[in-house]
Chains A and B, each alone.
Chain A
Amino acid sequence: MQKNIEAKAVIEVSNLYKDYQTAAGPFPVLKDVNLRIENGDYVAIMGPSGSGKSTFMNILGCLDKPTKGKYVLDGHAVATMEENAVAGVRNKTIGFVFQGFNLLARSSLLDNVALPLVYSGIEKPERHKRAKVLLEKVGLGKHINSRPNQISGGQQQRVAIARALVNNPRLILADEPTGNLDSVTSEEIMALFGELNKEGITIVLVTHETDIAEHAKRQVRFLDGKIVQDTLTNSQLAEVL
């Protein structure tokens, strides 16, 4: 009950369709997806491989456009926003953690993490200061001058998370953020996400692992491009009851 009073949707997706254009014609991936995520929520998206989770995340992250349907972010319909405004959203509102890290191979970890700040017009000393704090937070304080190809996959994953957090986004979208991490580091990252969520940041993450999904408040299950299940997690249920 209490939740509903202060509830205000950050994400509101209605009747969303996404087709990929392939040589064999349009290939439908998302079929009539509807989802509402409130401010401060913590959602785990699950589902088999190829069910359209990443496709959905990319649309939420304003990286891709739906074929049909409406996506309202923070009360604004993304389809009607100007290109520069969308870039601003990607830069400041959303912190996106990619399934494949997507780090700049030629730049140091410090520069990688600081990169979003470049596009916010923040000066170099401040950029480096903030990037350093985050790299320390994800346990890579000693590697700030390394290149992404000099560290392990798990470490790269953490750099990607640090980069997503550096501009203090209100919404974090993470596509399998623990996919490359061992269980200890996974727990650390999930603890970090838990803290961030307590600070009021909305988190949407994709995962295959049920115990990771348990950290969230809510589980959404995709199957063949549709949401087939949307429930509170056990821990959350325990809290409500």
Chain B
Amino acid sequence: MFTAMLGEAWHAMGANRLRTFLTMLGMVIGVGAVVLMMAIGQGAEASVKRSISAMGSNLFVVLSGPPSMGGARSATGNAPSLNVKDANAIAELDGVAGVAPVTMGKAQIVFGSNNWNTDILGTTPSYLDVRSWYLSSGYAFAESDIRSATRVALIGKTVAQNIFGDDIDPLGKTIRIKQSPFVILGVLDSKGQSLDGRDQDDTIIVPLTTAQRKLFGNQLPGSVRQIIVQAESDKAMAMTEEGINGLLNQRHNIREGADSDFSVRNLTAIANSAAETTRTMSLLLGAIASVSLLVGGIGIMNIMLVSVTERTREIGIRMAIGARQRDILMQFLLEAIVISIVGCLIGIGIGVGGAVLVSIFTKAEVIVSTNSVLIAFSVAASIGVFFGFYPARKAAKLNPIEALRYQ
């Protein structure tokens, strides 16, 4: 009985292909949009989450320059007001787990005939601990390298790829940074994108002193652009922030109420708000896509109503030879459901295809989760039932003889 009716539904859909196709199109677009938008939203959320966990936990960054300036500009555009001694003092504070002073700049690096322009980060070995950044091969430099400002380097995956290619093992090779030779001690693990979309693997890490003395000259001996501070725990964050502010104000002789020459940023809070933003964005995308799904559903209802009117005689015939009201109801309901489910399957295909294209062309991360597909599918099926029910009931309530007389 059921298979017979399913066959009938299929048959009826085939009878007016163009119309069935157009009806389906609404569903296809709706489901496709939902799947695609969810894929983009979830991809963005996942990549933010990954950036956050790659960033390290419970982090502050102390930037030189007054807090009113934008973070990026004060980090690079100002004369550094922080120095290594500040970092050492912060390390003594309660609740601080680790401290890494950082100075950075851009430089051209050369290996053989290959060259590459990249970020050079001068820091101490604790930087890797604070950022939970590991080496995929080789080993890190040590305090002794800091003391004697040796020319050694750790290189990021992107840099290694670009100047060594796949075939050469970078370990032990000598590259030139601003003409001076550096020996590569280790290759950094991949960190992927940072929250602001930079490729964190496009980096070379060298001892802080080497960067200060041999690469970027120096305005003030021992000065650094940033100090990265890791608190012992989430709970210690507030106390640590207060401690850093008090300590640096005191060390820099800044009077109560005056502008300070540094700023403390809570990276974890920034990360959380970034995560919040992407979540909102992905919700918004989903909501917009759902509207098109709704429109698709209304399209189905519209066509089913037309179909009921058009097939009034057919309904009359069926009733005259013994179809019960629920048979007629089922027939039209099934037709609506089949249209929405077939449309949904095509829509899923298009949504997934679109997601793949988006990831190929924009390099953005997209995630098609089984959940989003299941949601789209069940929503589409319910839309079929919901919007198919009224027309189907209208058909079932017809009086047989009046339906037969309908012309």
Contacts and interface: CB of A to CB of B under 8 A. Distances in A.
A63 B403 CA distance: 10
A64 B322 contact: no
A63 B320 contact: yes
A121 B1 contact: yes
Interface residues of B, number: 25
A28 interface: no
A119 interface: yes
A88 B322 contact: yes
A106 B291 CA distance: 36
B317 A90 contact: no
A116 B4 contact: no
A91 interface: yes
Given A102-B317, A102-B404, A118-B1, A87 B323 contact: yes
B320 A119 contact: no
A186 interface: no
B210 to A, nearest CB: 84
Contacts of B319: 63, 87, 90
A163 interface: yes
A92 interface: yes
Interface string B290-321: 00000000000000000000000110111111
Interface string B1-19: 1011100000110010000
B11 A90 contact: no
A32 B45 CA distance: 79
B284 interface: no
A151 interface: no
A119 B15 CA distance: 22
A58 interface: yes
Interface string B267-293: 000000000000000000000000000
A199 interface: no
Interface residues of A, number: 27
A120 interface: yes
A90 B4 contact: no
Given A106-B11, A118-B4, A121-B1, A87 B324 contact: yes
B327 interface: yes
A116 B401 contact: no
A232 to B, nearest CB: 31
B323 to A, nearest CB: 5
Nearest to A119: B322
Contacts of A88: 322, 324
Interface in B380-401: 399-401
Interface string A60-90: 0101100000000000000000011001101
A42 interface: no
Nearest to B323: A119
Given A87-B319, A90-B319, A106-B15, A119 B324 contact: yes
B321 A96 contact: yes
B325 interface: yes
A90 B320 contact: yes
Contacts of B318: 115, 119
Nearest to A100: B404
Contacts of A36: none
Interface in B240-278: none
Nearest to A88: B322
Contacts of B324: 83-84, 87-88, 119
A96 B320 CA distance: 8
Given A58-B401, A63-B401, A102 B322 contact: no
A32 to B, nearest CB: 21
Contact of B317 (A83, A92, A104, A120): A104
Given A102-B317, A102-B404, A106-B11, A87 B322 contact: yes
B404 A91 contact: no
A116 B317 CA distance: 10
A124 interface: yes
A95 B15 CA distance: 28
A27 B326 CA distance: 33
A115 B321 contact: yes
A212 to B, nearest CB: 23
7 closest residue pairs by CB, A with B: A91-B322, A87-B324, A64-B401, A119-B322, A116-B321, A63-B401, A90-B322
Given A63-B401, A84-B326, A102-B320, 19 more contacts: A58-B401, A61-B320, A63-B400, A64-B400, A83-B324, A83-B325, A87-B319, A90-B319, A90-B321, A91-B322, A92-B322, A96-B320, A96-B321, A103-B317, A106-B15, A116-B322, A119-B318, A119-B324, A163-B321
Interface of B: 1, 3-5, 11-12, 15, 313-314, 316-327, 399-401, 404
